Structure 1
Amino acid sequence: MNIYVDADACPVTDIVIKEAKLRHIPVVLVKSFSHFSPSDEQDGVKTIYVDTGAEAADYKIMQLCQGGDLVITQDYGLASLALPKGCTVIHHKGFAYTNENIDQLLQSRYLNAKARKSGQKTKGPKAFTQEDREKFQEKLKMLLNNHSS
């Protein structure tokens, strides 16, 4: 198993790295060059930089991930592509994308985009909370522990 993180705006990268290192699971952070930081260099963590284009990180993750890998993203489109490859995909707020919920999530995203395009105001995502961090960490630990056993 490898862990691939759609890392441009991921607020839980530190948790992923910590939990993965405890279990000696490789982590790959994929981010655009505009998010370059020398502090990204860490043992057990590989950082891949891609062009700044809208889907560049998604395309790179899809090129690299394989069945059995874990993908962490907030992007429903990337999740919908990784699931059929046999990847486990989770959101940074601690919920799993599944074959049962992905169509509804994509439909919701489409309808919101359509509404915004027609001039309607739509609510953005709720703020990321400490409770979300804890929920994510518990979900990640459960997945990694299940993988280890």
Structure 2
Amino acid sequence: MKIWIDADACPVVIKEILFRAAERTKRQLILIANHPLYIPPSPFIRMQQVESGFDVADNEIVKRVESGDLVITSDIPLAAEVIRKEGLVLSPRGELYTKENIGARLSMRDFMENLRNSGVDTGGQATMNQNDRKVFANQLDKLLAQ
């Protein structure tokens, strides 16, 4: 299992959890982003910079992910594509996206986007807190132990 990170939008605190997990489990961790990012020196961690542009990083992840790989993203359409390729998807808040729940998540995403496009202020996600980090770390540990 390789771990892929949709790194442009992934919170630093989550990347740090992933860096430690890659070292501990000796798994390949690849950050995909359209700008340079810091990564610690490690034989298990690398960063691939892609061109700027709409969905360029997402498309690179979909192209390279294999069945059983884990992708960290909050991007619902990317999650759906990874699931179609039989990959695992975990959000930075610890939500596991599956074949069973991704359709509902896509519908909700589209609904909220339509509301925003019509001028409704839908707010945004709450700031990530310590509990969110704990939920993510626990879910990550479960996936890596499989």
TM-score range, shorter chain: over 0.9
SS of equivalent residue, structure 1 residue 40: coil
Contact residue 6 and residue 30 of structure 1 kept, 8 A? yes
Which structure 2 residues correspond to residues 4-83 of structure 1 after superposition, within 5 A? Answer: 4-11=4-11, 12-33=14-35, 36-37=36-37, 39-40=38-39, 42-43=41-42, 44-83=44-83
Instruction: String of CA shifts for 1:48-75, please: whole Å, max 9, x gaps.
Output: 0011212011001011100010011010
Partner letter of residue 81 of structure 1? Answer: E
C-alpha RMSD of the superposition:
1.1
SS of equivalent residue, structure 2 residue 123: coil
Contact residue 41 and residue 47 of structure 1 kept, 8 A? no
Cα distance in 1 for residues equivalent to 2:76 and 2:64:
18
Partner letter of residue 74 of structure 1? Answer: S
User: Does the alignment pair 1:122 with 2:122?
Assistant: yes
Partner letter of residue 20 of structure 1? Answer: A
Partner letter of residue 101 of structure 2? Answer: N
Cα distance in 1 for residues equivalent to 2:99 and 2:126:
24
Provide runs of 4+ in structure 1 moved above 6 Å: none
Cα distance in 2 for residues equivalent to 1:29 and 1:15:
13
**TM-score normalised over the length of structure 2:** 0.93
User: Does the alignment pair 1:140 with 2:140?
Assistant: yes
User: 1:41/1:18 Cα in 2 relative to 1: closer, same or farther (>3 Å)?
Assistant: closer
Partner letter of residue 6 of structure 1? Answer: D
Query: How many residue pairs end up in the alignment?
Result: 143
User: 1:41/1:20 Cα in 2 relative to 1: closer, same or farther (>3 Å)?
Assistant: closer
